[in-house]
Amino acid sequence: MRVQRNPAPLIARGAAALAGVVVLAGCSAAGSTSATPGSTPDATSAVATTTPGTAGDGGTTADRGDSAAEARDADVIATLFATAFPDPGSAEAQAAARAAVSPDAVAHGAGAEAGPDGLLAEFAAAHQRVPGAQAVVKRTAADGDLVAVHWQVASDPADERTGEAAIDLFRLADGKVVERWSFDQAIPQGTPASGNVNTMFSDLYAGAPDAPRPTEEQEEAHRLLAVGAYDALFRDRDVSVLARSFDPAYLQHNPVAPNGTAALEQLFSGGVQFPAQQSVISLADGDLVWTFSQAVGAQAGDPFPAADVFRVDDGLIREHWDVVPAS
């Protein structure tokens, strides 16, 4: 499995707060700060066309231990972003998209188009929403036949507080994208009621210095831990998982959510009601676990409300990022 941790941002040249209490994994905030006028993306939550997977398979039966294949797939996606995003209407972008995306690649999301033209249309729409947009890749992961990208759509790559946050998930076969999901949201502006001033992208957790890279077995253990914790909390309403699987001071990158587990414990202990959700697709790479959730009992065509990224270290969830599209 292949990961970029704390990468130098790859800039394409030329990854529920209730009354502002907390947001984690697709629960939306009431009274949260508003996005920059005119920059809010269309509501295009990803949609599944296949039966949701289980926590065990994480939405894929591909070999999660084939690091060479994963590296090749990650390179395909990196090249696609770097070549196709800067000018989606150019001949170079069209050639890159045709080389990387199958003609009949399934695109999930309301109004999303299949194939390479659909991806180019989404890139072009991002340029319309964010003038002068660049694709600033913050972190990537490859696991089995899945590649995920957490990135910022921004005119100023040095400013993490403007533009949009996005996570894209790709499934590849024989070196080409055959299925993809897209999530994006405008980055909230102003001072959040939560007091959390972390950006939606920064790396803040500092683990043990010179810690070895996780083994394949450890990465899979990370995935099962994070998926199990997510499902225990958001499907089963088991608040005790916060003490078992989360660092009490875990770092939160959703701007309407404070750091730490206290707000989550307060939220769930207070009897908050919202539809039960569970992880459907998941991948692990290095110390990061990516989860894509749906409502329990979801059918083909039902939306994915959010994409989440968790940092796992020494048996605990230490840090969290998410992208929650407008619905």
Residue 4's pLDDT band, with cuts at 50, 70 and 90, is very low
Q: 125 and 229 share a domain?
A: no
Tell me if residue 92 falls in helix, strand or coil: helix
- Classify strands 134-143 and 146-154 as parallel, antiparallel or unpaired: antiparallel
Q: Which is higher by pLDDT, 72 or 210?
A: 72
Q: Which helix (H) or strand (E) holds 280?
A: strand 277-285
Q: What is the pTM of this model?
A: 0.85
- For residue 138 the two structure tokens come to 């913050």
Residue 33's pLDDT band, with cuts at 50, 70 and 90, is very low
Q: 92 and 229 share a domain?
A: no
State which residues form the domain around 240: 216-323
What pLDDT does 37 receive? 33
Q: 119 and 226 share a domain?
A: no
Q: 180 and 261 share a domain?
A: no
Q: Which is higher by pLDDT, 1 or 128?
A: 128
Burial 152-166 (b: 16+ CB within 10 A, else e): bbbeeeeebebbbbb
Last residue of a domain, one of 166, 186, 206: 186
In whole angstroms, give the CA distance from residue 135 to residue 159.
13
Domain count, the chain: 2
Query: What digits encode the pLDDT tens for the residues 249-284?
Result: 999 999 888 999 998 888 888 777 788 999 999 999
* CATH number of the domain that residue 256 is part of: 3.10.450.50
Average pLDDT over residues 5-12: 35
- Classify strands 246-252 and 176-186 as parallel, antiparallel or unpaired: unpaired
Query: What digits encode the pLDDT tens for the residues 195-207?
Result: 899 999 999 999 8
What pLDDT does 22 receive? 35
Q: 150 and 265 share a domain?
A: no
Last residue of a domain, one of 167, 186, 205: 186
What pLDDT does 180 receive? 96
Domain membership flag for residue 174: yes
Q: 142 and 230 share a domain?
A: no
